[in-house]
Amino acid sequence: MTAPPPPLLFSQPPRHLAFMATPSPDARHELERLVARYGNCHPGEADVIVCLGGDGFMLETLHRVLEAGLETPVYGMNYGSVGFLMNPTDEENLPHRLWNAQAATLHPLHMNATTVRGEHFEALALNDVYLFRQTRQAAKLRIDVDGLVRLPELICDGALLATPAGSTAYNLSAHGPIVPLSGNLLPLTPICAFRPRRWRGALLPSSAEVSFTVLEQDKRPVAAVADSMEIREVAHVRVREDRDRSVTVLFDPGQTLSERIASEQFNA
């Protein structure tokens, strides 16, 4: 039995659109065409933000929405390579496409990192937070979950915690599991684990708090990355899902993020 589609966000085609584009020539050219046809609002006054670019620029746009505290949904049109978060490029009847679009709500991960010098940094990640060795030396990490030591020592290139939306990105390349949006799970995945060699990671409840402690910090420096923000020489990193913040991404009917994540599990 097929599940019913999610309810529409709008009672009529949205009229106030804000356009953002990556600097590529194709995207800038399309931006000019769309603005001439539909106008261009300030993002804070728009019904929908339309993002022209690839997945990387889409993540940048979603971070801007989060940082500004906006509740405006974002609709992507693909002018990149993969376009997993994007929709096909078509400027015809754009308000009606947006009217019929289906929404996915994404909650970011919140990273709290402390460096070996005692500096503190915070960042949000919609894809993943990962730790990675900075030199030829393998990293040594201790992993705690909700205050309990689950892995006293992981010798590896690194480790990552991904959101369900990000489970098909770096996490999948590191042979981590794909997680459905409705699963309320976070994949914890090692990157090139050396010891214990057979540890393949864990699926954690979305309420879990994961702590990474860097062992032998002077000899084996480690960086932490939350989407595009990188912190060098970290000593301790805590990560949890921030349920108080969210962004809404729009997809054409039949091409929702949940469907794309499901389809990815059957790709050869």
Q: Is residue 2 part of a domain?
A: no
Q: Render pLDDT for 124-159 as a digit per residue (tens, 0 to 9).
A: 999 999 999 999 999 999 999 999 999 999 999 999
Query: Is there a single domain that holds both residue 184 and residue 70?
Result: no
46 is in an annotated binding site: no
Three-state DSSP class for residue 221: coil
Query: Is there a single domain that holds both residue 150 and residue 182?
Result: yes
Q: Is residue 10 part of a domain?
A: no
| Domains in the chain, number | 2
87 is in an annotated binding site: no
170 is in an annotated binding site: yes
Query: Is there a single domain that holds both residue 149 and residue 232?
Result: yes
The per-type count for the chain, helices as H runs and strands as E runs, is 5, 17
- Residue for token digits 């914890």? 188
Q: Is residue 134 part of a domain?
A: yes
Q: Render pLDDT for 44-101 as a digit per residue (tens, 0 to 9).
A: 999 999 999 999 999 999 999 999 999 999 999 999 877 788 998 888 889 999 999 9
Is the confidence at residue 179, as pLDDT, over 70?
A: yes
The per-residue pLDDT for 180 is 87
Cα-based angle 220, 223, 229 (whole degrees, multiple of 5): 175
168 is in an annotated binding site: yes
Query: Is there a single domain that holds both residue 113 and residue 237?
Result: yes
Query: Is there a single domain that holds both residue 157 and residue 236?
Result: yes
Q: Is the peptide bond before 196 cis (omega within 30 degrees of 0)?
A: yes
The per-residue pLDDT for 1 is 42
Q: Is residue 3 part of a domain?
A: no
Query: Is there a single domain that holds both residue 219 and residue 96?
Result: no
CATH of the domain at 236: 2.60.200.30
Q: Is residue 28 part of a domain?
A: yes
Is the confidence at residue 34, as pLDDT, over 90?
A: yes
Q: Is residue 7 part of a domain?
A: no
127 is in an annotated binding site: yes
Q: What's the burial of 54, exposed, middle or buried (CB within 10 Å: 0-12/13-18/19+)?
A: buried
The per-residue pLDDT for 260 is 76
Compute the mean pLDDT over every residue in the chain, rounded to the nearest whole number. Answer: 92
CATH of the domain at 45: 3.40.50.10330
218 pLDDT tier (thresholds 50, 70, 90): very high
Query: Is there a single domain that holds both residue 207 and residue 127?
Result: yes
6 pLDDT tier (thresholds 50, 70, 90): low
Q: Is residue 4 part of a domain?
A: no
Strand order in the sheet with 209-215: 120-125, 109-115, 234-241, 209-215, 139-145, 148-156
Catalytic positions: 55
Query: Is there a single domain that holds both residue 164 and residue 259?
Result: no
The per-residue pLDDT for 148 is 98
Q: Is residue 1 part of a domain?
A: no
* DSSP-assigned states of every residue in 103-163: EEEE--EEEEEEETTS-EEEEEESSEEEEEESSSSPEEEEEEETTEEEEEEEEESEEEEE-
Query: Is there a single domain that holds both residue 225 and residue 151?
Result: yes
Query: Is there a single domain that holds both residue 231 and residue 121?
Result: yes
Query: Is there a single domain that holds both residue 94 and residue 134?
Result: no
262 pLDDT tier (thresholds 50, 70, 90): confident
Residues 23-44, mean pLDDT to the nearest whole number = 94
**Which residues partner with 182 through β-bridges?**
none
State which residues form the domain around 198.
109-241
Query: Is there a single domain that holds both residue 50 and residue 91?
Result: yes
Residues 233-244, mean pLDDT to the nearest whole number = 97
Distance CA 222, CA 232 (A): 7
169 is in an annotated binding site: yes
